[in-house]
Amino acid sequence: MKTTAELLAGEGLRGKRVLVRSDLNVPLDDAREITDDGRIRASVPTIKTLVDAGAKVVVMAHLGRPKGEPDDKFSLRPVALRLSELLGKSVTFATDTVGESAHHAVRGMSDASVVLLENLRFNAGETSKDDAERGAFADQLAELGDAYISDGFGVVHRKQASVYDIAKRLPHAAGDLVRSEVDVLRRLTENPSRPYAVVLGGAKVSDKLAVIANLMNTADRILIGGGMLFTFLKAQGHEVGTSLCEEDQLDTVRGYLNTAKEKGVEIVLPTDIVAATAFSADAEHEVVRADAIPADRMGLDIGPESAAAFAASLAQCKTIFWNGPMGCFEMKPFAAGTVAVAKALVQATSQGGFTVVGGGDSAAAVRQLGFSDQQFSHISTGGGASLEYLEGKNLPGIDILKG
């Protein structure tokens, strides 16, 4: 993949319009205030490099899942304000993607200025499965630029107009963020330092089955928490009460447990659980044995014994990848397991270990719980993209940059 530096050297981008696909899909509260600006901050270095080179930078991004038409609650306007603050310069906000506002904003650009287009997904062509419709939107986007930089790692697993098709239409390169993310994932999959542990959480085991299957070829141990752990417990014949459980995955999970044993990969499951009467921070809850969850209770976190065991297991490892919280960390009574895993990664980092927080809810969790990005070797900006890479899948947004 051509780098931003190589494109700068080869194309001479001063005064040129450079379209940058960033990932600015940040969480907003009910007042439309940004609650975690991590993805915006991660996008700044590439934009700043281009600004410093005198380019006219046109940033493209999406927010949420609008249905192919404008929707105020998914507007990128709050992101434009935060991006202006982080860049230390005004960012012009276009109120559409390829319409009159976008063309007017781009025509009025001076060298080293920045424009942010409105949410790409307000146009159905962005995510269309129809190549022609998607290509037509990519043609409209390409009219706004002279070159293209792919820097939104969180979307490189999607075959979308601003990620895939536009790279066929303009001179292109991988942004520094995308390159660093790919370098990290290669380090996790190509001869990682051992012992190598993977910590997986989150709600659904079905979301992680393919990555578990592939990681059994590279990881030494896999620690299971979050809602997905209850499908594992039930597969072993245990009562899980009213906890999340995917009954249709029980046979698959049993097969994975057998495969892990055959390959010598250690699957670490919790031995105790924090079980509550309801999904609520105020619900009555208690610590119970993982093999003795009451029929009328749901597991909402791993227990203290398990948290200590997970931390001890991770302390022995030189490489750790973590994707998915251990429990409902948003509610204080059920955050301790996630905190324990985060602390274990921080400790491993301080001792020279390579620790990766795999984006999505995991990244949100560590920041919400008071940890800083600098306490880990890497916090990914793309949970889904990271998992698909670790599954061994080809990522369209990466493959197209290799041409």
Greater confidence (335 vs 1) lies with: 335
Of 216, 300, 286, 207, give the one whose Cα is nearest residue 256.
Answer: 216
What's the pLDDT band for 360 if we cut at 50, 70, 90?
confident
Is 255 assigned to a binding site? no
Is 143 assigned to a binding site? no
What's the confidence (pLDDT) of residue 9?
84
What's the confidence (pLDDT) of residue 71?
96
Is 361 assigned to a binding site? yes
Is residue 149 domain-shared with residue 170, that is, in the same domain?
yes
Range of the domain at 115: 4-179
Please give the backbone phi and psi of residue 218, each rounded to the nearest 5 degrees, phi first: -130, -35
Is 187 assigned to a binding site? no
Is residue 108 domain-shared with residue 230, that is, in the same domain?
no
**Residues with a known catalytic role:** 39, 204, 360, 384
Final residue belonging to a domain, choices 179, 214, 238 = 179
The number of folded domains in the chain is: 2
Does 343 score more than 80 pLDDT? Answer: yes
Is 96 assigned to a binding site? no
Of 332, 281, 273, give the one whose Cα is nearest residue 298.
Answer: 273
Is 64 assigned to a binding site? yes
Is residue 204 domain-shared with residue 129, that is, in the same domain?
no
DSSP three-state, residue 79: helix
Is residue 200 domain-shared with residue 284, that is, in the same domain?
yes
Is residue 173 domain-shared with residue 34, that is, in the same domain?
yes
Is residue 280 domain-shared with residue 148, that is, in the same domain?
no
For residue 208, the domain's CATH number is: 3.40.50.1260
Is 402 assigned to a binding site? no
On whether residue 143 sits in a domain, the answer given is yes
289-292 long-range contacts, Cβ below 8 Å, gap at least 24?
A: 290/233, 290/238, 291/233, 291/236, 291/238, 291/239, 292/238, 292/239
Weakest-pLDDT range from 20-29, 73-82, 191-200, 382-391: 382-391
Angle between helix 176-189 and 383-391 (nearest 10): 40
In this predicted model, what pLDDT tens digit does every residue of 217-269 receive, in sequence order? 999 999 999 999 999 999 999 999 999 999 999 999 999 999 999 999 999 99
Of 85, 179, 150, 106, give the one whose Cα is nearest residue 93.
Answer: 106
Quick check: 155 and 23 in contact, CB under 8 A?
yes
Can you tell me the distance from the alpha carbon of 146 to that of 166, in angstroms, rounded to the nearest whole number?
Answer: 11
Is residue 297 domain-shared with residue 345, that is, in the same domain?
yes
Does 368 score more than 80 pLDDT? Answer: yes
Amino acid at 30: D
Chain length of the chain:
403
Residue 160: both structure tokens together: 């979308």
What's the confidence (pLDDT) of residue 364?
84
CA 51 vs CA 57, 89, 227, 392: distances in Å: 7, 10, 44, 35
In this predicted model, what pLDDT tens digit does every residue of 92-123 receive, in sequence order? 999 999 999 999 999 999 999 999 999 999 99
Can you tell me the distance from the alpha carbon of 165 to that of 125, in angstroms, rounded to the nearest whole number?
Answer: 11
Is 25 assigned to a binding site? yes
Final residue belonging to a domain, choices 121, 155, 179 = 179
**What proportion of the chain, given as a percentage, has pLDDT over 90?**
89
Q: How are the residues of the chain apportioned to helix, strand and coil, as percentages rounded to the nearest 5?
A: 45, 15, 40
> What integer is the mean pLDDT of 35-50?
95
What's the confidence (pLDDT) of residue 205?
85
Is 193 assigned to a binding site? no
On whether residue 402 sits in a domain, the answer given is no
Question: 67 CB contacts (<8 Å, ≥6 apart)?
Answer: none
On whether residue 401 sits in a domain, the answer given is no
Quick check: 222 and 281 in contact, CB under 8 A?
no
On whether residue 341 sits in a domain, the answer given is yes
Does 10 score more than 90 pLDDT? Answer: no
On whether residue 398 sits in a domain, the answer given is no
Is residue 79 domain-shared with residue 217, that is, in the same domain?
no
Q: Which residues pair with 287 in a beta bridge?
A: 274
On whether residue 319 sits in a domain, the answer given is yes
Is 399 assigned to a binding site? no
Is residue 326 domain-shared with residue 254, that is, in the same domain?
yes
Listed in sequence order, the DSSP H helices in 95-146 are 100-107, 131-142
Is 179 assigned to a binding site? no
User: What does pLDDT average to over the chain?
Assistant: 95
Bond prior to 333 in cis (omega within 30° of 0): no
Is residue 200 domain-shared with residue 313, that is, in the same domain?
yes
Is residue 248 domain-shared with residue 351, that is, in the same domain?
yes
Is 54 assigned to a binding site? no
Final residue belonging to a domain, choices 145, 179, 213 = 179
Can you tell me the distance from the alpha carbon of 50 to that of 38, in angstroms, rounded to the nearest whole number?
Answer: 20
- Identify the sign of the CA torsion 49, 51, 52, 53: positive
Strands 114-116 and 298-302: unpaired
In this predicted model, what pLDDT tens digit does every residue of 116-169 receive, in sequence order? 999 999 999 999 999 999 999 999 999 999 999 999 999 999 999 999 999 999
On whether residue 186 sits in a domain, the answer given is no
> What integer is the mean pLDDT of 271-275?
98
Can you tell me the distance from the alpha carbon of 327 to that of 241, in angstroms, rounded to the nearest whole number?
Answer: 16
CA atoms within 13 A on the CB side of 136: 8
What's the confidence (pLDDT) of residue 293?
97
Residue 242: both structure tokens together: 């009213």
Chain centroid offset of residue 207 CA:
14
CA atoms within 13 A on the CB side of 166: 32
Is residue 77 domain-shared with residue 53, that is, in the same domain?
yes
pTM of the model: 0.91
Three-class SS string for 210-257? HHHHHHCCCCCEEEECCCCHHHHHHHCCCCCCCCCCCHHHHHHHHHHH
On whether residue 122 sits in a domain, the answer given is yes
What's the confidence (pLDDT) of residue 7?
85
What's the pLDDT band for 8 if we cut at 50, 70, 90?
confident
